[in-house]
Amino acid sequence: MPDHLSADPAGNRPRVLHLISDSRRGGAQNFARDLHRELNRRGQSSALCALAPHPAVQPGPTDTGPDSAGRGPAALGAADPSDASGLRSAAVLGPGRLRPSTLRALRSAARAADVVLAHGSDTLAACALALAGTGTPFVYVSVGHPRYWTANRLRRVRGGALMHRAAAVTTLTDEARAVLEEQFRLPEGKVHVISNSRAAESYPPADGRDDRRAARHELGLPADVLLVAWIGAIAPEKRLDLALDVLDRLPDVRLAIAGDGPLRETLARHPAAARAHFLGPLPDPAPLYRAADALLLTSDSEGVPGALIEAALAGVPAVATDVGWVREVVRDGATGALVAPGDPLALAEALGKVLAVNRAGLGAAARAHALEHFELGAVVDAWQRLVAEVWTAGAEAAR
């Protein structure tokens, strides 16, 4: 098991390994990157690994497993050298998320860590399988709405079996904690509430019209149009079809879509798709926020969406479906607008109003709200305390 007496250069804090499902830019991945950087900045040893490569990138010879010393694909505590490049900002463990070779690489990489933070459901299964018997505890970081992915008995049984293997589970709200404890019969004290957050410096607002035009040029987007951003997986629950229905009702608006998924080819044939720009998965969403006049979120299910936090930090107002805990980020009428899910007409009306009024004022209010409630610095202390508690409990249990 890890040597707890040499946890970091100071000798008194645990070494952390962040595990993400793949090296694309999604909500869980973005948070893991921000937290990883902030822990390193605070002098705590932290590394970042992905179970699988970005779908658009083939793993190279340096991306596929532990080194000759068995320390894993990234030295713990080292800065991430390719972080600025986007697609390959995390060392990749293997060719697939739950492949045997990937799990072996994870088990090896975890030897250099004292605590593993598993960001996302695929990483929960990987850690439960790969870390069994190693003595390295892991924390499962739950970011979605638990009622959505506990909708059937099979999911509840599987999720419960995996979560009981974790040393701790984090979730975003008190309501989510209650759902997890009830659905999975998790013991009191196992589930911790830590708010979703982002590093404000990663999402700077556009510095005037010229900066906005430059961001659009960078992305190949038209300069002088009303531009709305949509960011997410092009999957059924995210409802890009609704966003395109909204676009059909607003002829002066263009839609910039960042993401990919199983419905992309089908939705590219939507009648409004001629005014949509399918950008694919972006290595960094920040330029799109600087380019956009507003953000549109059309999901049927969410937790506390990272994209809304990112857009708000960038000073971009949002129109969003009122699902999950979206209303904690979007204040209806103050920082954007909330609409009941599944209603394209209401979404179009709300978006039209947001685009027609003082967008700068709404964006400034959104940024102020996000800085107060969702800036990463406000929650890192809580993460450090939790990691230290898990580390200490593991060391005591091993004695």
In this structure, what are the phi and psi dihedrals at residue 18, rounded to the nearest 5 degrees? -90, 130
- Convert the pLDDT of each residue in 312-332 to its tens digit: 999 999 999 999 999 999 999
- Convert the pLDDT of each residue in 38-50 to its tens digit: 999 999 999 999 9
Do the beta carbons of residue 130 and residue 123 sit within 8 Å?
no
Alpha helices in 110-258 (DSSP H): 121-130, 146-149, 153-163, 174-184, 208-219, 240-249
pLDDT band at 157 (very low <50, low <70, confident <90, very high): confident
- Convert the pLDDT of each residue in 118-129 to its tens digit: 998 889 999 999
- pLDDT computed for residue 89 by the predictor: 62
pLDDT band at 11 (very low <50, low <70, confident <90, very high): low
Strand partners, 230: 257
- pLDDT computed for residue 81 by the predictor: 37
- Convert the pLDDT of each residue in 252-285 to its tens digit: 999 999 999 999 999 999 999 999 999 998 988 9
Q: Render 317-356 in DSSP notation, one character per residue.
A: -EEEE--TTGGGT--BTTTEEEE-TT-HHHHHHHHHHHHH
Mean of pLDDT values over 178-207:
92
- pLDDT computed for residue 144 by the predictor: 78
For residue 76, pLDDT over 60 is answered with no
Residue that has been written with the tokens 């390994």 in this structure: 17
For residue 85, pLDDT over 50 is answered with no
pTM of the model: 0.79
Structure tokens at 5: 């007496």
For residue 361, pLDDT over 70 is answered with yes
- How far apart, in whole angstroms, are the C-alpha atoms of residue 362 and residue 347? 17
- Secondary structure of residue 191 in the 3-state scheme: strand
- pLDDT computed for residue 277 by the predictor: 98
- pLDDT computed for residue 121 by the predictor: 82
- How far apart, in whole angstroms, are the C-alpha atoms of residue 116 and residue 113? 7
Residue type, 297: L
Structure tokens at 145: 């709405």
Minimal CA–CA distance to 192: which of 396, 389, 395, 399? 389
- How far apart, in whole angstroms, are the C-alpha atoms of residue 243 and residue 221? 18
- pLDDT computed for residue 167 by the predictor: 97
- pLDDT computed for residue 56 by the predictor: 58
Minimal CA–CA distance to 74: which of 21, 103, 111? 111
The region of weakest confidence among 55-59, 248-252, 346-350 is 55-59
For residue 74, pLDDT over 50 is answered with no
Mean of pLDDT values over 299-305:
92
Sheet holding 318-321, edge to edge: 276-280, 253-258, 226-231, 294-297, 318-321, 336-339
User: Which is more confidently placed, 376 or 394?
Assistant: 376
pLDDT band at 158 (very low <50, low <70, confident <90, very high): confident
> By percentage, how much of the chain surpasses pLDDT 70?
86
- pLDDT computed for residue 117 by the predictor: 98
Between the alpha carbon of residue 1 and those of residues 4, 114, 282, the distances in Å are 9, 8, 38
For residue 203, pLDDT over 90 is answered with yes
Between the alpha carbon of residue 99 and those of residues 69, 74, 183, 309, the distances in Å are 22, 19, 29, 33
pLDDT band at 83 (very low <50, low <70, confident <90, very high): very low
